[in-house]
Structure 1
């Protein structure tokens, strides 16, 4: 909390928001906001008393103090007019009310609205710091989070309302972008279930200008109702990223991946025998989904994720220099291009350590060793493109779902 002698420059603008009898406010909410701002500026606590749709009264938190203000609705207008007030405090000597100063969620949301509009990365801890420094009010992290959530809803609408517009948005995507795929499902109780979108330009770009290798990944959504974003992206001829299709599902389950991959197959108009390969981590949902939906399509496992698993296996088993040698050997094996070299290096590995050799065999080397891979992975051994996509849409993951969709659309153009 700010010190008592610190000048809270922003709060001084609120010192005269309450003028007394006869003052008119556009609504009861505006009247209550004015009281909250006035209390912050003058550093005292208050409580609302006898509040109903037609009348509101606020009094000082100190029971012996005569400060109060009353307002009532003006007939047929919705406006509130102050009809009685005493804006002079009577506090005993030595009594401090600064520790009672509080700010409502709506007031803080109003305060941070412009900053959030200018910087979507405005974080709760920054809100805690700024509100304390500029207004002398202490917020917890959770309070700041809720205030930020309210301010976001004022900017982009409520999360709940966003889900209701999905049918309309999907219809508009298909109308304005012929050839695009936009599919969704709802539960029996009317709640949102799953979404899949692939823009026609991205599908055409993949068919005509990309290597036929798709990188699959799932990442969490940080908005109020959470969920998971499933993504398929590809490398263009310059090794740049082209987003092909994305989906929103409750979680990375086998069923959800299978549903997403089924929509992807229809969007790509894939036929058995078409040249197509995939690369991803070894998530069970992806492995099972590809097996059922894209049978016969080669599936490469990301070497980076594999190495992380191997490090976990080695942890606590051997000394540091031996572990480094084993990890380097794993890297070397992954990049081998002939069966002769693969078999030769596996013999060396077997001599180095039999259990580490068995680990490699059980890790399905046919999915990550170039010499054993059945399809064309264009020397792409890692799913780094997934991390590129995650960074690309990082801030959008906190937005309501329709704004998330529109942000991806605008970035894709």
Structure 2
């Protein structure tokens, strides 16, 4: 507690706060450790010591990072043994240091090949452990066991993802996540209405509706239209996606039935002309399409198709895609994912247990870790503009630029008015 005298080591403090980390859902930050030590022992410790104590406590519970990397080959062997069909592979460099790991659980692959919708969402996040790295995740929604014409990939604008999709799945459609594009629109253009209007443009079904909304967006700022044109309509606009997208939001057919108060006039055995003011549509029950394009994209009957089904006493649920049926859900999750069990019960062959796998050479630098979200590829950071001096990079509260004489006079006049009131 005095200058020149050492405090208790972080390992001792870590053993004291270890119970706080037994529950993985509980959050106990370094500042909480600082408060705990101050209240219980009357001692002030630094943030860095509290952070090291937290790391020591986690190591006592979960084991060190180095031990975990060494255990990976054996763990993956047991994972594949317990879950048939699982694919897992580790790559290391010439010095036996970890490079990357690929893993696909067998039960997930079965679901991928059965009744899932043909959309693959791809994204990555940075790992927060001792050694630098990232977790790359592909959420698959395929319906059969090979590449199909309607296969769609959704990701940010990272070039490596585009290259990989084009190489492995050359016939698949690759679109960009509209959330990331909307964040760019919000960061680049400061119009309040543009951000919300962009979602309406992106989700429009008909090209006529798309262009009507897009023209409205361009009236706010032509630069927004230029930016979105350069991104490519086929990359983000539903109306230009060739009908391969599925609406991943839950749609309640019963609610559609309540608003399907329109009449259907037959054209032939399968096609019907449904009139509903200016928003009617021509429905083809055999092809399961409608000129409003909602039926085409969502693979769920639109209000025009529901009106047709009602007039012909057809069960509307039979018009929806098999991907939405209960049987598809049960089939996709039929196979369980088995845990590997206690390490003490593992029986691992020498070829897996004897692999010497070291952690990566890159380590996280010292200091306080960043807590702000790191933008994805192609997503630009929002730039803060000072309301006092008008410059970019800081706000009014942190502004250190000198105040002009006019600004001083304006400020004094405002204070005078307040005093007078």
Q: TM-score, normalised by structure 2?
A: 0.54
Using the TM superposition, give the Cα deviation of residue 102 of structure 1 relative to its aligned residue in structure 2, in angstroms: 1.7
Does the 8 Å contact 1:303/1:368 carry over to 2?
A: yes
Q: Which runs of 5+ in 2 are unaligned?
A: 250-357, 360-421
Instruction: Flag the 1:293–1:107 CA change in 2: closer, same or farther, 3 A.
Output: same
Residue number in structure 1 paired with 2:240: 372
Provide Cα deviations, 1:251-284, integer angstroms capped at 9, x if missing partner.
xxxxxxxxxxxxxxxxx9644x454212122222
Q: Does 1:300 align with 2:175?
A: yes
Instruction: Flag the 1:148–1:226 CA change in 2: closer, same or farther, 3 A.
Output: same
Q: Which runs of 5+ in 1 are unaligned?
A: 1-44, 46-96, 238-267, 316-322, 382-399, 402-413
Does the 8 Å contact 2:153/2:175 carry over to 1?
A: yes
Q: Which has the higher strand share?
A: 1
Provide Cα deviations, 1:89-118, integer angstroms capped at 9, x if missing partner.
xxxxxxxx6995721122111101122214
Matched ranges for 1:2-401 at <5 A: 100=5, 102-118=7-23, 120-234=26-140, 270-271=146-147, 273-315=148-190, 323-350=191-218, 353-374=221-242, 376-380=244-248
Provide Cα deviations, 1:179-201, integer angstroms capped at 9, x if missing partner.
00111100111100000111111
Query: Where has structure 1 moved over 6 Å in runs of 4 or more?
Result: none
Does the 8 Å contact 2:150/2:173 carry over to 1?
A: no
Provide Cα deviations, 1:109-145, integer angstroms capped at 9, x if missing partner.
1101122214552221111110111122222111111
Does the 8 Å contact 2:113/2:145 carry over to 1?
A: no
Distance 1:350 1:98 in 2: 66
Distance 1:132 1:205 in 2: 52
Does the 8 Å contact 2:114/2:142 carry over to 1?
A: no
Using the TM superposition, give the Cα deviation of residue 207 of structure 1 relative to its aligned residue in structure 2, in angstroms: 2.2
Q: Which has the higher contact order (CA 8 A, sep 6+)?
A: 2
Using the TM superposition, give the Cα deviation of residue 296 of structure 1 relative to its aligned residue in structure 2, in angstroms: 2.2
Distance 1:160 1:99 in 2: 34
Instruction: Flag the 1:144–1:375 CA change in 2: closer, same or farther, 3 A.
Output: farther
Distance 2:31 2:41 in 1: 15
Instruction: Flag the 1:347–1:154 CA change in 2: closer, same or farther, 3 A.
Output: closer
Instruction: Flag the 1:188–1:270 CA change in 2: closer, same or farther, 3 A.
Output: farther
Does the 8 Å contact 2:118/2:150 carry over to 1?
A: yes
Distance 2:44 2:75 in 1: 41
Distance 2:167 2:114 in 1: 26
**Coordinate RMSD, CA, aligned:** 2.8
Provide Cα deviations, 1:53-85, integer angstroms capped at 9, x if missing partner.
xxxxxxxxxxxxxxxxxxxxxxxxxxxxxxxxx
Distance 2:52 2:6 in 1: 18
Does the 8 Å contact 1:116/1:122 carry over to 2?
A: yes
